[in-house]
Structure 1
């Protein structure tokens, strides 16, 4: 039974020790560092990828990776301790130190889990955002001259003669269209911002059909997104617009594609 996706550290630690993680993998020889309050508090080439759930891994670090005096242990559970990490006038209590591990959980013994959002993380000298990249996941960007048309309720809202296809393991192919391929008048800026460890920080548009007045307007919230400054491996998609395949009708090279079923449907 996989551990629950929970923010309760006692529940998480207890479940991991009882059942073991979904999977683990050594991250060595990659150097992983943690910074808090402007100070590097942990530095190791012996990090471990730990899948607490099936979706993506976390970094767990050996206890000896941490600088002297940065960890304190206000409370212990059965086989683990909840710790506080402090440096540079900043503290976080989102830390678990695994004191032991048996059976499927034996790999956890002596490892420390620092919640990713509670500190800054670096792989070698590159900053890592959101969560560690899954080593079993790929993101490929491929240029294609197959034309793409996008319709909503029968209304054509975009027409691209060529675009970038983005293939990401476990997700539908995404079509990144030139910004000018979306017909004028349909876009409204959204305040939504999200982040992806593989692609970077995304901004969004709502798509508006109708005259923009009264009951005749239909608004699809955050159905289009784009990256102003994507990660270097996805650099070609900078400024291109992408629709959720799950919420619009996309025609590729004259063939209408089905709407995929995903968590974004």
Structure 2
């Protein structure tokens, strides 16, 4: 039971304090586990457990019969931890909320099931896979081509220069500037093992930047790029974006220094 204590704490918080917000959706949501669609619904609910992005919770009635095994030791009548078991595989990263009796703040959760996003094999909205987490319906991404000249300085040295770039605007985040891959001297770049994933843009690869032959001035994971971005961000394929939050990075746009952003990654 120790492994589920974080789930117990989450369930308790949600039923007592309520989620940040919820939103019902008519999208068809399906969950795949061990070759079986264990949930299939057009009545899923976006649930913001925190302010950053939502999860999908699904009605208990949409879950395949016989795959959920509630804990026999629930310590809260408003929710239970449970095990999902299909064939020879199982995961205990599941919360089931009671059909009724939840206090007002958590009432939207009645009758819903929370499957840990990464504990199952795949999620689908209609027939489109969901990566990392569900996209926030209140967030959008715009990619705009700009012919304002741009320069990037690292430790006071000009390392990139271009006559145009793509400006990526993502709700709640600073503008990101994607430069042509030829805007940077390739001798300064070293491939990194780092990779990150974004449900809006896709899987990012990274470069270290090296300012001298001896790797003394090596800046880890300072630049990222997308080989095959998602369709809505297709324009940034191959383009390079510098980690503007880093102290050593300065960006000049049309000759003016761009204010350094403050983000959770600063």
Superposition TM-score tier, normalisation by shorter sequence: over 0.9
1:88 is displaced (CA, Å) by 4.2
Alpha-carbon deviations, 1:97-145, whole Å to 9, x = none? 0014221111111100000011110000000011111111111111111
User: Which of the numbers 139, 142, 153 marks the counterpart of 1:140?
Assistant: 142
What TM-score do you get using the length of structure 1 for normalisation? 0.94
Q: Is the 8 A contact 1:33 1:121 kept in 2?
A: yes
Unaligned runs of 5+ in 1: 1-5
What TM-score do you get using the length of structure 2 for normalisation? 0.93
State how 1:160-171 maps to structure 2 within 5 Å: 160-171=162-173
Alpha-carbon deviations, 1:199-227, whole Å to 9, x = none? 000110011112225xxx21111110011
CA distance in 2, matches of 1:69, 1:118: 18
CA distance in 2, matches of 1:20, 1:90: 32
1:89 is displaced (CA, Å) by 2.7
CA distance in 1, matches of 2:139, 2:71: 37
RMSD between aligned alpha carbons? 1.3
1:264 is displaced (CA, Å) by 1.6
1:153 is displaced (CA, Å) by 1.4
Aligned match of 1:26:
24
- SS of equivalent residue, structure 1 residue 235: helix
1:7 is displaced (CA, Å) by 7.5
1:10 is displaced (CA, Å) by 0.4
CA distance in 1, matches of 2:259, 2:89: 50
Aligned match of 1:154:
156
Aligned match of 1:189:
191
CA distance in 2, matches of 1:179, 1:88: 48
State how 1:47-86 maps to structure 2 within 5 Å: 47-75=44-72, 76-78=74-76, 79-86=78-85
- SS of equivalent residue, structure 1 residue 55: coil
Q: Is the 8 A contact 1:38 1:88 kept in 2?
A: no
Alpha-carbon deviations, 1:149-208, whole Å to 9, x = none? 000111010011111110001111101111111123211110001100110001100111
Q: Displaced runs of 4+ in structure 1, greater than 3 A?
A: none
- SS of equivalent residue, structure 1 residue 262: coil
1:235 pairs with 2:221: no
Aligned match of 1:124:
126
1:90 is displaced (CA, Å) by 2.1
Aligned match of 2:225:
226
